[in-house]
Each structure stands twice: as structure tokens, then as C-alpha cells.
């Protein structure tokens, strides 16, 4: 018997009705054969934000090596690990997959460096805060839209359990034995990463799967790019030997992931939570510390951080400097100089704000209005979230338009 089969998010679970609750009644097809969570998985899989992840940084910026991990590959690694763990433990793997496939749809371009830059912009300009877990929920609730059979666009309208998993997925914390919370809180009231554990056991699995998925792959990429020297590889070997992984010259992401998945599935119980043995918990935190010291803070990455910071700040200031009191006419003038930047931002405002309600209606955008741009702070937030939606390559393209004559 699967150890967590009695805790799975399925009909009969005391949390079931809340887990499948949506912000609005869902318009389902009579012929639909999908479950509630599989429908959410499909909506996220077909979203534009998911598609754009293939051109967003995981760790290494602007690599010319096609074998280096991008954000979309990381997301699919998390989905694979989540599926494996959920299935082995007897949890609802469809819910795990839905959370995993959407967990980074709100991630900034240029990886965590871009996230830090946008957070500083938000803090310094409208006393806001940008963090990608919250932005993933915001994108799921407000930004990503799908077209129905009548040609109208509506919000994704995901279930509570999936929405909760998106904002609760932070894998950056050093914790073990994760338990889901009991309270069905208002997700919009969450103010910072890891403020609450997930609502479901499946959400707890994705939270740990996120960490399992990125640590080994980031090492594999660093080896390909010759980021690590011999003494650092020896240091890593000492860590991996503790969990019976072969020397790094033979090890790869698959072997590292396998060791942690097997340990987690053997150790986790409803009584002890989702977690690792003491040996594997010590090892995963040692690998994380190693990666930060030797990979994420590597000098070669520092130079690109300066570049991405310059690009995002310049793009923000260009859009924020438009005459706010005469927005439409000012944008028309600005578009003569920066047509690509202005036209794409205008499309964003039409779709998500009260900038041009008539055009919004003509385009059959029946999604909710997110920004009231008569409020300067909301206009600035619209800029930050527009920039967060861009891929690395498109942000570079927009920046190049600003500096070319």
C-alpha cells in the first residue's frame, strides 16, 4: 500500500472541496474526460508564460551551448521528480504535475539576478515587492489568458490547490520534514516566500522536488562549461561519496536525483512529513552551499548580472518617464523612436488595464482588469510585470532598440 494514499488530494479527502475550488465557476465541456487538476495542467502547459520559459535563464546567461539547462527544462525536471515521488507515495500525481509545470511561469528574465533587480525597482519606485513565487500566482490568476470556442479570452481560473502550490513552492529554504498546513488561507495575503507551507501533501512534494531538480543539473552544466576546477571537483566528490554517488567524473544529474528521490520515498511518512534521512539532508544542504560558493557567485556570472541589471533598469526608466498625465499621446510620440518597446507595452496595457477599454473589448479580452493606470504606482507595477514576462532574448532586443540610432 502506498504510504500516503489516505492523504492524497482525491474525493473523500477532507480538503478536497477547497482544493478544487475556483475563483469563478468553470465552463467545462460535456465531453471532457479530464480531472480537475489535469485540466489545470493543460491550461498551464498551453499558456504563453510556460512557452516563454524556453528562452529564460536557469543559471547560465546567454550560453551558446544548446545542452545547457534553460528555465523550461528545469520546470520539466521538477515535473518529472514530482510525478515520480507522488506516484510512489500514493499521492495525486496529476496535482503534483500541475503545480510543477506552472511553478515558474512568473519567473523574471535573467534568472534570480533579474528577479533581484525587479524587486529593487518595485521597492524603490512604488514601495512594492517582486518575488517570482507570488508573480507565478499573479500570472496564473490575472495575466495568462486562454481563448474559448467563441473567440473570447478569459483568465485561467485554476483550482485552489494548484494556485496554492505555485506561491508555496519556494525550494530555497534549508528545511526537512515538510507538513502541509491545515488552514485554507487567502493566497493574496501571503507577503513573502516560505511564509506558509503548502496546503496539500502534493504541494510539499513539489517544494522539495524543486531543490532536488536544480542542484544536480546546475553542477552538470558547470562541468560542461568548465566552471569548476580540480580542487572544487574533489570537494564535491567528498559530499557525493557520503550518499554513495560515484565520483563526479562518472556522476551526472540523473544519478544525483535518483539518490535523493529513493531516500525521500523510503524515509517520508505521514507521521514524519516529506523529507530525507539525516545523511541525505546534510548532503543536499552541503551541495546547495557548494553551488552558491562555486557556481552561482562565480565571477563570470557577475559580469552578466551587471548587464542584465542595466537593461532592466533602463527599460523601466524609459517606460516610467513617459508623461503620465497624457499617456496615450505621449506613447504615440515615443513610439516613433522606440516602436517595438512601446507597441508591446501598449498591448500589455490594453490587455490588462483600463488604458483603452474600447480596444480591449474589440479584442474580446474578457479577462479582469489588473491595473488602474490613473494610479501612478499601478502604472509602474504594470511596467515591472511586463518586464517580468519578457524572455532574456526579447529584453535584450528591446534594450538594443533604446541604444541604437
The DSSP code sequence of 128-184 is: ----HHHHHHHIIIII-EEE-TTS-EEE---BHHHHHHHHT----S---SB---S--
Average pLDDT, stretch 68-79? Answer: 95
Instruction: Report pLDDT for 172.
Output: 64
Average pLDDT, stretch 366-393? Answer: 96
Q: What is the CA radius of gyration of the chain?
A: 22
CB distance 40 to 103 below 8 Å:
no
Please give the C-alpha separations between residue 6 and each of 14, 161, 248, 309, in angstroms, as whole numbers: 11, 17, 39, 48
Average pLDDT, stretch 330-357? Answer: 96
| Whether pTM exceeds 0.75 | yes
Confidence band, pLDDT 50/70/90 cuts, at residue 248: low
CA-closest candidate to residue 104, choices 84, 78, 86: 78
Please give the C-alpha separations between residue 129 and each of 52, 140, 142, 157, in angstroms, as whole numbers: 23, 18, 17, 24
Instruction: Report pLDDT for 16.
Output: 97
Instruction: Report pLDDT for 64.
Output: 78
Say how many C-beta atoms besides its own lie within 10 A of residue 372's C-beta: 13
Looking at the chain, the whole-number percentage of residues with pLDDT higher than 70 is 96
Say whether pLDDT at 244 is over 80. no
CA-closest candidate to residue 341, choices 379, 392, 405, 390: 390
For the record, the C-alpha cell of 64 comes out as: 551558446
Average pLDDT, stretch 126-155? Answer: 94
CB distance 137 to 187 below 8 Å:
yes
145-147 and 153-155 strand pairing: antiparallel
Rounded Cα gap, residues 294 and 187, in angstroms: 36
- Lowest-confidence segment of 53-67, 79-93, 104-118, 148-162 by average pLDDT: 53-67
CA-closest candidate to residue 34, choices 79, 77, 85, 95: 95
Task: Count how many residues are written for the chain.
Answer: 405
Average pLDDT, stretch 119-135? Answer: 97
Rounded Cα gap, residues 293 and 346, in angstroms: 42
Residues 6+ apart with CB under 8 A from 225: 60, 63, 65, 68
Instruction: Report pLDDT for 247.
Output: 58
Q: What are phi and psi of 73, to 5 degrees?
A: -65, -40
Say whether pLDDT at 171 is over 90. no
Give pLDDT tens digits for 231-240.
999 998 888 8
Rounded Cα gap, residues 301 and 42, in angstroms: 35
Average pLDDT, stretch 315-327? Answer: 93
The DSSP code sequence of 252-277 is: -HHHHHHHHHHHHHHH-BTTTBB---
Instruction: Report pLDDT for 32.
Output: 78
Rounded Cα gap, residues 382 and 349, in angstroms: 8
Instruction: Report pLDDT for 150.
Output: 86
β-strand partners of 22: 159
Rounded Cα gap, residues 157 and 167, in angstroms: 15
CB distance 13 to 36 below 8 Å:
no
Say whether pLDDT at 260 is over 90. yes
For the record, the C-alpha cell of 128 comes out as: 512594492
Higher pLDDT among residues 39 and 150, named by residue = 39
Looking at the chain, the whole-number percentage of residues with pLDDT higher than 90 is 81
Instruction: Report pLDDT for 250.
Output: 53
Give pLDDT tens digits for 193-206.
999 999 999 999 99
Higher pLDDT among residues 171 and 114, named by residue = 114
Say whether pLDDT at 251 is over 60. no
Q: Could you give all domains of the chain from N- to C-terminal order, each with its CATH number?
A: 16-25+34-105+144-297 (1.10.3210.10), 300-403 (no CATH)
Confidence band, pLDDT 50/70/90 cuts, at residue 211: very high
Confidence band, pLDDT 50/70/90 cuts, at residue 114: very high
Say whether pLDDT at 397 is over 80. yes
Rounded Cα gap, residues 214 and 233, in angstroms: 18
CA-closest candidate to residue 156, choices 27, 44, 50: 44
Higher pLDDT among residues 324 and 213, named by residue = 213
Amino acid at each position: 500500500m502506498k504510504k500516503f494514499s489516505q492523504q492524497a488530494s482525491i474525493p473523500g479527502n477532507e480538503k478536497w472541496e477547497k482544493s478544487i475550488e475556483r475563483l469563478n465557476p468553470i465552463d467545462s465541456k460535456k465531453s471532457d474526460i479530464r480531472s480537475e487538476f489535469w485540466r489545470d495542467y493543460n491550461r498551464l502547459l498551453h499558456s504563453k508564460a510556460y512557452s516563454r520559459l524556453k528562452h529564460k535563464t536557469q543559471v547560465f546567461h546567454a550560453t551558446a551551448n544548446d545542452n545547457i539547462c534553460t528555465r523550461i527544462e528545469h520546470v520539466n525536471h521538477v515535473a518529472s521528480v514530482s510525478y515520480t515521488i507522488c506516484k510512489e507515495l500514493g499521492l495525486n500525481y496529476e496535482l503534483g504535475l500541475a503545480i510543477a509545470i506552472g511553478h515558474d511561469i512568473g519567473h523574471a528574465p535573467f534568472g534570480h539576478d533579474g528577479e533581484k533587480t525587479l524587486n529593487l525597482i518595485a521597492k524603490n519606485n512604488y514601495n512594492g515587492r517582486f518575488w517570482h513565487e507570488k508573480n507565478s500566482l499573479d500570472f496564473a490568476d490575472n495575466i495568462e489568458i486562454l481563448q474559448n470556442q467563441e473567440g473570447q479570452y478569459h483568465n485561467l481560473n485554476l483550482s485552489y490547490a494548484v494556485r496554492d502550490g505555485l506561491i508555496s513552492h519556494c525550494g530555497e529554504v534549508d528545511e526537512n520534514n515538510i507538513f502541509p498546513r491545515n488552514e485554507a488561507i487567502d493566497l493574496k495575503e501571503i507577503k513573502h516566500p516560505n511564509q506558509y507551507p503548502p496546503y496539500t501533501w502534493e504541494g510539499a512534494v513539489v517544494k522539495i522536488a524543486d531543490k532536488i531538480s536544480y542542484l544536480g543539473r546546475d553542477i552538470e552544466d558547470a562541468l560542461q562549461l568548465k566552471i569548476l576546477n580540480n580542487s572544487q571537483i574533489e570537494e564535491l566528490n567528498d559530499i557525493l561519496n557520503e550518499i554513495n554517488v560515484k565520483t563526479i567524473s562518472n556522476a551526472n544529474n540523473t544519478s544525483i536525483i535518483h539518490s535523493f528521490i529513493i531516500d525521500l520515498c523510503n524515509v517520508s511518512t505521514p507521521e514524519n512529513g516529506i523529507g530525507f534521512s539525516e545523511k541525505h539532508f546534510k548532503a543536499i544542504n552541503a551541495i546547495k552551499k557548494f553551488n552558491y560558493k562555486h557556481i552561482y557567485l562565480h565571477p563570470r556570472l557577475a559580469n552578466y548580472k551587471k548587464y542584465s541589471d542595466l537593461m532592466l533598469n533602463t527599460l523601466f526608466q524609459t517606460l516610467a518617464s513617459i508623461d503620465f498625465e497624457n499617456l496615450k499621446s505621449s506613447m504615440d510620440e515615443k513610439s516613433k523612436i522606440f516602436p517595438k518597446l512601446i507597441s508591446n507595452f501598449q498591448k500589455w496595457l490594453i490587455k490588462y488595464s483600463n488604458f483603452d477599454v474600447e480596444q480591449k473589448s474589440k479584442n474580446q479580452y474578457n479577462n479582469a482588469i489588473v491595473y488602474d493606470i490613473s494610479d501612478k504606482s499601478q502604472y509602474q507595477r504594470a511596467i515591472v510585470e511586463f518586464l517580468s514576462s519578457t524572455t532574456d532574448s526579447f529584453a535584450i532586443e528591446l534594450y538594443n532598440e533604446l541604444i541604437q540610432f
